[in-house]
Structure 1
């Protein structure tokens, strides 16, 4: 259900008022038929939200075709013209490299790259942001990229929504509770609509196929994999604000950038954003300590 400026609209009204692509029409249909009320201040905000979702979906499809491969943190690879791989398996932007060029290279020279599936989702978001904002704005906002699990620049504005009703462009998580191989403890996946999902290392499958693959790859033999009700979305209104021209003075540097030295590296492969946030919180409060390659991080 869609509400614009306090008014709940019928489908015929939406079609008359909203200008989106043919792919965007499908997203509009999903928003409209949802039992959840999606509220927008204006039709322009609705149109931009749909456009961002399109960019996320397209970024996922392109990454699927890019020849990037799945790898645990110890086997992470990246093109060393643009990135440095850290001892923890993160991918850190080199000094003097434009973020837009480095992110685009993952899509152009995918065979040079290997990373796990949470990292893949962040790459999808960065590439979608690049397409939506353009290179100049992207380079202004995303200056110090560091790709490691779900670590992300705060300007992505990632948030968790509790629902079992994903909209195309959402990121879901298929949990594999009794897996015997940690890299297949679950799969982050971009919902592409029409019951299709893109998961790094698995490809584009429908929900049933995704669950069957996880059960097989993780050697799960008692409990089937299933989709969690924790869905990840970026802050669409914030992305719209970035496109409208927020400047550095609008946001504090400490909130806006990723500081590599402050990252808590948990070394957990293929985890959900919800679990990642829980781990980081426990690390920050000293509840747990993670050991990586024999040294405390």
Structure 2
């Protein structure tokens, strides 16, 4: 299944799904415990290397900017994605967490209810507003012309420029406890998927309504749904993936490879690719496994690069791989 290794990068730390981002022509990765490195997506060469502090609580790329929120120092830094130069930074309260960008506004705060929510102008870091009291929210998501937030059995949409509430939903059960991982998945301009409890997925509508989409029979991983190839993918906590119809929620297939699958689904011309901790699996369009490719290093995350290429993280590396063309 694997045609070859395109390039490989030693991270000098364990790789994870939250430690790197893929853009149209670049890969941004946290490595060596305190460095943020930008790589050329095609060849893996280093474009810039910047010191940003200890392990980031959040890493976001938007509008030619790279925003990073490390555990220490307690500040949000905005870097130029082309050069790595620091454009601005703002000091934040200790234990700040969550960063989301909506058009020209950056929102930060609300992790575990430790800090207020604050908004800054993306261009220059100018403060726009701050809540008077701490806010408790899951990782927010840009959607529906605003920023979607939630905690417990409530979800609400705010205007990022002034913090005013645009819509609110009373949920049938509490949002899944995903910690620093996403809980919301935008599935279009007027609908967004939200993970609830240990087994549920609902669909929020921009009108303020919602409908129950999936109630699974086993526990799901504490993370958002993936929307890949017109299919909703939900990772099970102990087995594989559940694939469902995005309109009806009906089960299309289940992928069980006899080992836990990691975060990430890749779309290829003739199906999909998912990763277990020790192998890659090529799936047919109906989800049936048609090829298994063992991997010497334990995989922790998979991301699609397009054109039959992917990135995987392992215990200590970031690796770009190319898929072999499937024989007719």
Would you call these one fold, judging by a TM-score over 0.5? no
More strand, by proportion? 2
TM range (shorter): under 0.3
Q: Quick check: which one's helix share is greater?
A: 1
